Amino acid sequence: MVDAWRAQGLAKNADISRMIPSDRRERIELDLNALPKLITRFTRMTDLNKFRRRLNLFGEIGWPRKWSKRMRAWQSCDHVLMLYVHLGFFLTTGAHNWRTFSELMDLLIDHPDRVRERMVIQGEVSARLVDRVLKQVKMETI
């Protein structure tokens, strides 16, 4: 696109960011990859309880490095803060390649209620994480 603009007369040393300004944004990064994935072949309720315990432990390990220092800086920032807590259905469940995608599809066919229960558990933990962030960092929600 910039090449087309230059062909139309845009100077080579033009600062496009000054010509088309946008709001500064910063993403609050929680390490959602540390969340336990939806492990296939788990069909007993005890496995759901184990999954819940593993997710509850995440609340202590998923915080960004230097969280306290960054939180203080965010309290007085004048730019947009963004918080993402869901990576999408497939990434959240751990379907990162064809093998795990296929396993997930089989699980959805054979045990859809189990998948739903695990997603509910994961949603509850995500909600607690968001609540914890929002209590510490003043953010506008959209």
Higher pLDDT: 108 or 1? It is 108
Tens of pLDDT, residue by residue over 25-70, are 888 877 655 555 555 455 555 577 777 776 666 555 556 677 778 8
Instruction: In whole angstroms, give the CA distance from residue 61 to residue 115.
Output: 24
The pLDDT value given to residue 38:
58
- Give the span between the Cα atoms of 59 and 89, in whole angstroms: 20
Output the pTM of the full model.
0.62
CA-nearest of 37, 86, 33 to 61 is 33
Contact 2, 10 (CB under 8 A): yes
pLDDT one-digit tens code per residue, 59-107: 555 566 777 788 888 877 888 888 877 778 887 777 888 888 888 898 8
How many Å apart are CA 130 and CA 26, to the nearest integer?
Answer: 16
Please report, for the chain, the start and end positions of each structural domain, with discontinuous segments joined by +.
23-136
Residue 33: the pLDDT is 56
Please report the pLDDT score of residue 43 as a whole number. Answer: 52
Residues in the chain: 142
Task: Give the residue from 32, 35, 62, 63 showing the smallest Cα distance to 51.
Answer: 35
Task: Give the tens place of pLDDT for each residue, 115-141.
Answer: 888 888 878 877 877 888 888 777 665
